[in-house]
Amino acid sequence: MTAQPEHPAGPRVTAVPHTINAIGDALTGAERARFYTEVLAAEEGEVPGVMRRWWKTAMLHRAPAAVQSRANAAAGRALVAVDDLLVDEPR
């Protein structure tokens, strides 16, 4: 017997390449400006951390329904209470 997800998984999201240009291209205009400012000002050892942090943001933009989800949050629609997210621990 196998367990099936409650909601079938959609197609996989293509990963943003781990390059400065690819990360910058995947960000919105304001984010892109902040990313380039941070990465250009970073010391050599700090660049990978800056890239990793912004890569995660770039990947979130590729998530299915990300635009709709952000629009809902901005408009206060389809919100979930924090208490509804908490899972009771087994006793």
pLDDT digit string (tens) for 45-60?
Answer: 999 999 999 999 999 8
Name the residue among 48, 66, 68, 69 with its Cα closest to residue 58: 66
Q: What is the pLDDT of residues 10-20, one digit of tens each?
A: 567 789 999 99
Residue with tokens 């087994």: 90
Q: What is the largest CA-CA distance in the chain?
A: 54
How far is the C-alpha of 14 from the C-alpha of 68, rounded, in Å?
19
How far is the C-alpha of 54 from the C-alpha of 61, rounded, in Å?
11
Entry pTM:
0.64
Label residue 90 by pLDDT band (50, 70, 90).
Answer: low
How far is the C-alpha of 74 from the C-alpha of 31, rounded, in Å?
17
